Amino acid sequence: MGADVFGKYQASGGRIRMSEWFDMGKYGLYVWSSYGLFVLMLIWDLLWPWWKGRSLRQQLLHRARREQARQQSSTELPLP
Amino acid sequence: MPWFYGAAVPMLLWGLWTALYGVPVDYQQGDSYRILFIHVPAAWMSLFIYFVMCVNAFIALVWRIKLSELLAMHSAPLGAAFTLLTLLTGSLWGKPMWGTWWTWDARLTSELVLLFLYLGVMGLYAAIDDRRSAARAAGFLALIGSINVPIVHFSVEWWNTLHQGATIKLFGASTMDPSMIAPLIALAFATKLWFVGSLLARTRVALVEAEIGKEWVRTSLANTKPPAGESV
């Protein structure tokens, strides 16, 4: 936050101090928890597809590795 | 898909900053009204996403398009999240203003029913093993539940409720100061863009999951090393 922002609000008679801003005229708890919940929801939403994609990728890698191992073992051990 | 997030995030940041710092204090509600900038866009999204889900469910049921099934089903989690957010922020706003966390008011109750509808759709989709018939059954439930959407919207006009009437009107003058409308509109757009980005991301992952045995998934995955991340 630059001094110009504070200057502007000082001039307009708005809030000027950080502690007052966090206090939100005694409604701080309600206001900030609302905004916090919103941000948390966005983060959850961002992480979900990423996390899901990663687990799918691992699943596929395991599967590919299994198939590779099976093919190798069948070539190494000639059938009687 | 990253473009939607990329467009949403600056708008979101500007909207949040203006809502928390830029706009003046309300003469009746003091600073508590700042919850509106989260509560109202979230409430709009809860209805908007339901609408998107129903359109896709309808397309999926009539034309049996697999992509529509996935789009409908993967709208539901974020829709449910926005509905929950609406209820929680409403509660956080209701406590200091109405003196109660919750009341069985028409608006609040119909929004709660909306949350249960979302959860019902998600539950039904998860409960049936065959993915395609699960999507059809859940889509059918979503369409039946769409009766609730106008009830949520008009509840403040049809009944005498504790919840206030609409302040922003699509037609006619809004009863809100223009300086307060700007961040509200910004957040409403930002959440919509975010939803599009999120829906595409979720659907892409779901598509990979659905096609996991197919050749194109294997070949495209073989070409991407895990740290490379993003592309499927």
Q: What are the domain boundaries of chain A?
A: 3-76
Looking at the DSSP bridge assignments, the partners of residue B30 are B26
B152 inside domain:
yes
B130 inside domain:
yes
Number of domains in chain B: 1
CB-CB: which of B31, B209, B232 is closest to A24?
Answer: B31
Mean of per-residue pLDDT scores for chain B = 83
% chain A with pLDDT above 90: 8
Given a cut of 90, whether residue B154 has pLDDT beyond it is no
Provide ipTM, 2 decimals: 0.79
- Two tokens, residue A5: 């922002």
Confidence of residue B76 (pLDDT cuts 50, 70, 90): very high
Per-residue pLDDT, averaged over B125-138, amounts to 89
Determine the distance in angstroms separating the CA of A72 from the nearest CA of chain B, rounded to an integer.
18
- Two tokens, residue B231: 């592309």
Q: Answer whether B191's CB lies under 8 Å from B9's CB.
A: no
* CA-closest candidate to residue B139, choices B56, B199, B45, B52: B56
% chain B with pLDDT above 90: 33
pLDDT of residue A80: 59
The 3 state secondary structure assigned to B60-120 is: HHHHCCHHHHHHHHHHHHHHHHHHHHHHHHHHHHHHHHHCCCCCCCHHHHHHHHHHHHHHH
* CA-closest candidate to residue B86, choices B52, B153, B157, B38: B38
pLDDT of residue A76: 65
- Residues in chain B whose Cβ is within 8 Å of chain A: 5, 12, 16, 20-21, 24-25, 30-32, 34-35, 38-39, 42, 77-78, 81-82, 85, 88-89, 92-93, 95-96, 194, 198, 201-202, 204-205, 208-209, 212, 217-218, 221-222, 224, 226, 232
Given a cut of 80, whether residue B176 has pLDDT beyond it is no
Chain A and chain B share a number of CB contacts under 8 A equal to 93
Mean of per-residue pLDDT scores for chain A = 75
Given a cut of 80, whether residue A79 has pLDDT beyond it is no
Per-residue pLDDT, averaged over B54-78, amounts to 91
Given a cut of 70, whether residue A16 has pLDDT beyond it is no
pLDDT of residue B171: 57
Confidence of residue A19 (pLDDT cuts 50, 70, 90): confident
Looking at the DSSP bridge assignments, the partners of residue B196 are none
B206 inside domain:
yes
pTM of the model: 0.80
B216 inside domain:
yes
Q: Do A33 and B82 touch (CB under 8 A)?
A: no
% chain B with pLDDT above 70: 88
Given a cut of 80, whether residue A58 has pLDDT beyond it is yes
Phi, psi of B102 (to 5 degrees): -150, 145
Could you tell me the residue range of the domain that residue B150 belongs to?
2-162+174-228
* CA-closest candidate to residue B79, choices B48, B108, B33, B112: B48
CB-CB: which of B24, B93, B204 is closest to A30?
Answer: B93
B169 inside domain:
no
